Amino acid sequence: MFQALLWQLPLAAALWPKPHIYTTGSTTVVVNPSTYSFQAVATTPELEDAFVRYRSLFFPHSTSPAPQALDAGLVVDIFDTKADLILGADESYTLDINLDGTSVVAAKTVWGALRALESLSQLVDFNFSTGQYSFSGIPVHIEDAPRFPHRGILIDSGRHFESVPQVKAFLDSMAYAKMNVLHWHLTEDESFPIASRSFPELPQKGAYSDFEQYTWEDIAEVVKYARMRGIRVIPEFDMPGHSTSWRNSHPEIFAEGCLSQSSRGAFDPANNQTFSFLEAALKDWSALFPDGFLHLGSDEVPASCWNNTKDLAWMKTMGFSNSSDVFNYFVNQMAGISQKLGRQTIFWDEAFLSAKPPQDAVIQNWHDASLMQKIVDAGYRAIYSSNGGYTNGWYLDGLKATWENMYVLEPLTNISSDKAHLVIGGEGCMWGETVDPSDLEFTVWPRAAAIAERLWSDPSANSTAEAEPRLQRFRCQLLARGVHSGVVGGQGRDAPPGPGSCVQKPKVLAQGEQSVFI
């Protein structure tokens, strides 16, 4: 019964994420894919690239058009063709599908036009019995815009290397859900995969292997690929902890208390060479990552590394009484370097809890969600990523966190109306301890789609019962487009229980029973 109801949904009512305003009619028109045109009143390289890409998404099956098929097409009108891809770039659009089969998109920027193309692609229907493409429920009118400007997913190439083809495929899947930020956690204790022109020894001695590294050109290619899909790439270089792989080639900038191979390292703030080295490295990479934001981590610092004779003596000369003072010094030194490089800094919430970063810093909340209110009340901008104890948050590596739990979480809970603008959005975090290219998409999707809709759609869209049929359809579309999505329902990485449709659910576990996929 559920499957039958799913396919009876009007396509405009099945869009994911849910548009803010849409109206439908009752007419169906058949269109000719061979003559369907993509036109722009004024164009950009990103739009021309999207026209080519979306033609195959609109019309994935070869077919012979019926005599009644209309020679229709799409016209896109962009108001500002020079608008850059930045935080807060206008992604609004209107979309009309008319009775003659033509579609008209109006958008202030190309980034809004890309979101409209994705919506339109989800409205094209193919009838396998007749072999025809059609639009149903027309005329269709949609007015849409994202609720939050920052809608991201973190991937972790420091713990498991994610190949360039995998990252590109993942960017495609993000665009299907209208996500617009790839938070790329690039370096870790375990490995250092990214090329450095200033310090080539960093990946040479820090990567897992010669095979598991990104060249300079690889990174540039990924950043360009993301831009063509309206996705910003924000690199994260976690520090002063989570940095042990740097120590393989440059132990001189690490605290003496943690130099043994068995210990996690931490950069040494007592050594001025540390900051000149990091500035040179970051300046080098700033040419690769044009985005105005730089993530400098700051989480889970092994502060005991600074409990050594050299650093304790330096702390005394600086008037520092404890490791929190040292951490605060490091955070502000790095924020200053980031500002010098023309970047705004994002820190994990330890920088708020145990330091006082500059007021223009952005704090990413990964601890308890209640911290969001304290962050914005202190005047900082915030990104919502609470782990929710790995069962009720937006940490995608928490396999017991269901899409339903993720869907109902609200980034603005207990945030006053005068502070709401400081919450710039949120991210689903796919940490890489147990994820590599073999199961990245399978772990992320479809649960991340719940996060995508929460960040895009009106807050009134909060019913899991209403959302489930649409999410089932979206999951089927992901699979049709080659995205390795898990099933809707159950836990992360749960597989289909047996033969069945793309809408089937995983086995319901008895109380206390563990999924074999965890």
Q: Is 191:246 a contact under the CB 8 Å cutoff?
A: no
- Residue span of the structural domain in which 93 resides: 21-144
Residues 323, 409, single domain; the answer is yes
Mean pLDDT of 471-494: 95
Q: Which CATH number goes with the domain that contains 114? A: 3.30.379.10
Three-class SS state of 163: coil
In a domain, 481, yes or no: no
Q: Are strands 93-97 and 103-107 parallel, antiparallel or unpaired?
A: antiparallel
One domain, residues 271 and 127: no
Residue 140 forms part of a structural domain: yes
Residue 413 has pLDDT above 80, yes or no: yes
The structure's pTM equals 0.96
pLDDT (tens digit, 9 = 90+) per residue, 26-58?
Answer: 999 999 999 999 999 999 999 999 999 999 999
Same-domain check for residues 32 and 134 = yes
Please tell me the least confidently modeled range out of 127-131, 333-337, 341-345, 441-445: 127-131
Q: Report if residue 11 sits inside a domain.
A: no
pLDDT-derived band at 64 (thresholds 50, 70, 90) equals confident
Q: Are 446 and 371 part of one and the same domain?
A: yes
Instruction: Write down the pLDDT at residue 513.
Output: 52
Which of 56-65, 394-403, 416-425 is predicted least confidently?
Answer: 56-65
Lowest mean pLDDT among 61-75, 96-110, 499-513: 499-513
pLDDT of the residue at 517: 37
Last residue of a domain, one of 462, 483, 506: 462
Say how far apart CA 363 and CA 351 lie, in whole Å: 8
Evaluate if residue 288 carries a pLDDT over 90.
Answer: yes
pLDDT of residue 420: 98
DSSP for 235-298? Answer: EEEEESSS-HHHHTT-GGGB-GGG-STTS---B-TT-HHHHHHHHHHHHHHHTT--SSEEEEE-
Domain co-membership, 140 together with 155: no
Dist CA 428 CA 63 (whole Å): 39
Q: Are 100 and 54 in a shared domain?
A: yes
Question: Is the pLDDT confidence value at 515 over 50?
Answer: no
pLDDT, tens digit, for every residue of 338-368? 999 999 999 999 999 999 999 999 999 999 9
> What pLDDT was estimated at residue 3?
46
Of residues 394, 431, 444, 397, the one with CA closest to residue 160: 431
Given 144, 175, 190, the domain boundary residue is 144
Instruction: Decide which of 422, 443, 462 is a domain's last residue.
Output: 462
What's 353's domain CATH number? Answer: 3.20.20.80
pLDDT bin (cut points 50, 70, 90) of residue 247 is: very high
Q: Is the pLDDT of residue 418 over 80?
A: yes
179 shares its domain with 84: no
Tell me if 493 is assigned to some domain: no
Does 167 share its domain with 52? no
- Note whether 190 and 311 are same-domain residues: yes
pLDDT bracket for residue 193 (50, 70, 90): very high
Number of domains in the chain: 2
Selecting among 300, 410, 433, 466, the annotated active-site residue is: 300
Same domain, 37 and 176: no
* Mean pLDDT, rounded, for 261-287: 96
Count of Cβ atoms closer than 10 Å to residue 434 Cβ:
13
Percent of the chain with pLDDT over 90: 92
pLDDT in tens, 290-320: 999 999 999 999 999 999 999 999 999 999 9
Confidence tier at 387 by pLDDT (50, 70, 90):
very high
Region 102-119: mean pLDDT is 98
Question: Both 288 and 211 in a single domain?
Answer: yes
Q: What per-residue confidence (pLDDT) applies to 131?
A: 93
Whether 246 contacts 280, CB under 8 Å: no
422 with 346, same domain: the answer is yes
* Beta-bridge partner residues of 95: 105, 142
- Is-catalytic flag, 236? no
